[in-house]
Amino acid sequence: MGCKKDSGKTTGPSTQQKSYKWKMVTTWPPHFPVLGEGADKLAKWVDQMSNGRLKITVFGGGELVPPLGVFDAVSSGTVEMGHGASYYWAGKVPAAQFFASVPFGFNAQSMNAWLYSGGALKLWEEIYKPFNLKPFPAGNTGVQMGGWFNKEINSLDDLKGLKMRMPGLGGKVLAKAGGNPILVAGGEIYTNLDRGVIDATEWVGPFHDLKMGFYKAAKYYYYPGWHEPGTTLELMINTKAWASLPPDLQAIIESATYRANMWMISEFEAKNNANLQTLINDHNVQLRKFPDSVLDGLKKISIEVLEEMASKDSTSKKVYESFKKFKKNISAWNEMSESPYQNVIIK
**Do 244 and 109 share a domain, yes or no?**
yes
Cα→Cα distances 46→105, 141, 158, 280, Å: 32, 22, 48, 39
Tell me phi and psi for residue 36, to 5 degrees.
-70, -35
Q: Residue count of the chain, please give it.
A: 347
Q: What residues does 58 pair with on adjacent strands? A: 24
CB count in 10 Å sphere of residue 278? 15
**Do 209 and 316 share a domain, yes or no?**
yes
26 and 58 Cβ atoms separated by less than 8 Å: yes
Name the domain count of the chain.
2
**pTM of this structure:** 0.91
**1 occurs within a structural domain:** no
258 and 178 Cβ atoms separated by less than 8 Å: no
**Do 222 and 235 share a domain, yes or no?**
no
**Do 195 and 301 share a domain, yes or no?**
yes
Tell me whether the omega of the peptide bond preceding residue 224 falls within 30 degrees of 0, making it cis. Answer: yes
- Given 269, 300, 330, the domain boundary residue is 269
**Do 256 and 217 share a domain, yes or no?**
no
**Do 136 and 156 share a domain, yes or no?**
no
**289 occurs within a structural domain:** yes
The identity of residue 335, as a single letter, is: E
What are the pLDDT tens digits along the chain (347 aa)? 444 444 444 444 445 589 999 999 999 999 999 999 999 999 999 999 999 999 999 999 999 999 999 999 999 999 999 999 999 999 999 999 999 999 999 999 999 999 999 999 999 999 999 999 999 999 999 999 999 999 999 999 999 999 999 989 999 999 999 999 998 888 889 999 999 999 999 999 999 999 999 999 999 999 999 999 999 999 999 999 999 999 999 999 999 999 999 999 999 999 999 999 999 999 999 999 999 999 999 999 999 999 999 999 999 999 999 999 999 999 998 899 888 888 887 66
**Do 171 and 258 share a domain, yes or no?**
no
Alpha helix locations (H) across the chain? 35-49, 70-76, 108-112, 120-128, 168-176, 189-194, 206-212, 239-243, 247-283, 292-312, 314-334, 338-346
Q: Using CB atoms within 10 A of its CB, is residue 66 exposed (0-12), middle (13-18) or buried (19+)?
A: middle
| Residues contacting residue 195 through CB under 8 Å, at least 6 positions apart | none
DSSP per residue over 227-275, as a string?
T-SSPEEEEEEEHHHHHTS-HHHHHHHHHHHHHHHHHHHHHHHHHHHHH
**Do 192 and 302 share a domain, yes or no?**
yes
- Given 215, 241, 269, the domain boundary residue is 269
DSSP per residue over 89-131, as a string?
GTTT-GGGGGGT--TT---HHHHHIIIIISSHHHHHHHHHGGG
In tens, the pLDDT along 51-102 reads 999 999 999 999 999 999 999 999 999 999 999 999 999 999 999 999 999 9
**Do 177 and 253 share a domain, yes or no?**
no
**Do 52 and 185 share a domain, yes or no?**
no
Range of the domain at 175: 147-228+284-346
Q: What residues does 134 pair with on adjacent strands? A: 237
Q: What residues does 286 pair with on adjacent strands? A: 220
Exposure string (b/e) for 144-167, b if CB count within 10 Å is 16 or more? bbbbbbeeebeebebbeebbbbbb
Q: Is 234 left (phi over 0), alpha (psi -120 to 50) or beta?
A: beta
The identity of residue 151, as a single letter, is: K
